[in-house]
Amino acid sequence: MKKVLKVLGYTLGSLLLVVLLFAAYIQFTPLPVYKVQAPELHIQPDSALIAEGGRIVMTMCAECHRSEDGQLGGKLWADNDMFGKLWSANLSKHPEAGIGQYTDGELAYMIRTGVKRDGHYAGPFMAHPLMADEDIAAIIAFLRSDAPAVQPIDRRPPPPEYHFVGKLVYKLIFKPLPYPSEPVHPPPASDQIAWGKYLATDKWQCYRCHSASFETNDDLNPEKSVGFFAGGNPMPDPDHNIILTANLTPDPETGIGNWTQAQFMEAIRSRKRPDGTSVRLPMPPLTALSDAELMAIWAYLRTIPAVKSPARAPS
């Protein structure tokens, strides 16, 4: 019996040592640095490209990167007990505090993979691996433009203050995405459902918030994400209350199965549900999306299998 207890004690002690070593590795070793393999890329901007880039950036990026003065100078955008404090980057043209030193290729690489020019991983929240080349070019053209939002500003957001779980996730779960080996083209707008899928999953990335969680999203195969478009992703509102994102599948009870196309467009544009209640923040009004885009997204969402979700029914 003593021998059994002795062996058990050694086993438990060894397991405890492994756990402590693992915890020490997560807590005290630096975050990984990745090799940057930026392509040779030179964007030739014109007014139309800059305008489209502005539409994308001010819709997709500004919510997290816009500071109080209206410029994309970065701000504190996450502060929670699990991950820690995270500041968004300065996207202005400042040569040191912002992205002024980035080449077009380095910007494209960062936007697609999430890896900055210094090799540090910016995280999965901004990576667009499936976005069409023309939309990536538009983003870069806008970031290089004379738009007031991107003019140089010497604001230097602090580095992340990760808690243990944040370090664990960034070291073991969140990984850079591959840079495409072939050109990426969008489907034609004439194919409404295919175009709607591109808009909802690749360009505007609606599924990221409206699936089960950021951690279980599949950025390379969005439709394989857990709870794809069924909502329930916990997100903080401006007062740091946790809100579950809405179910956008055609389920008639917990989704948008009883909505009309016009009601969907109204909810996206003005944040008003069919019952008169307001769509809750952090969902902003998406006024920049065109009628054609919203109708295509609606058409695509109607093709998704209906899923009953524990998230609050949006109607």
pLDDT at 7: 62
- β-pairing, 234-236 with 161-162? unpaired
pTM of the model: 0.90
Structure tokens at 45: 């901007």
* Statement to judge: residues 156 and 197 lie in one domain: no
The answer to whether residue 122 sits within a structural domain is yes
* Statement to judge: residues 164 and 197 lie in one domain: no
The answer to whether residue 261 sits within a structural domain is yes
* Residue range 194-231, pLDDT digits in tens: 999 999 999 999 999 999 988 889 999 999 999 999 99
Q: What is the CATH number of the domain that holds 246?
A: 1.10.760
Please write down the long-range contacts of 98-104, taking CB distance under 8 Å and 24 or more positions apart: 98/73, 98/152, 98/153, 99/143, 100/152, 103/38, 103/41, 104/41, 104/42, 104/43, 104/140, 104/144
Q: What is the CATH number of the domain that holds 133?
A: 1.10.760.10
Residue 313 has pLDDT above 50, yes or no: no
CA–CA dist 38, 183 (Å, integer):
15
More confident residue, 95 or 240: 95
In the chain, how many domains are there?
2
Residue 311 has pLDDT above 70, yes or no: no
pLDDT at 135: 98
In this structure, the chain runs to a length of 315
The answer to whether residue 107 sits within a structural domain is yes
* Residue range 159-180, pLDDT digits in tens: 888 898 888 888 888 889 999 9
* Statement to judge: residues 111 and 224 lie in one domain: no
Structural domain of 119: 47-172
CA–CA dist 106, 118 (Å, integer):
10
With cut-offs at 50, 70 and 90, classify the pLDDT of residue 1: low
Q: Mapping DSSP to helix (H, G, I), strand (E, B) and coil, where does residue 129 land? A: coil
Q: What percent of the chain has pLDDT over 90?
A: 61
* Statement to judge: residues 208 and 126 lie in one domain: no
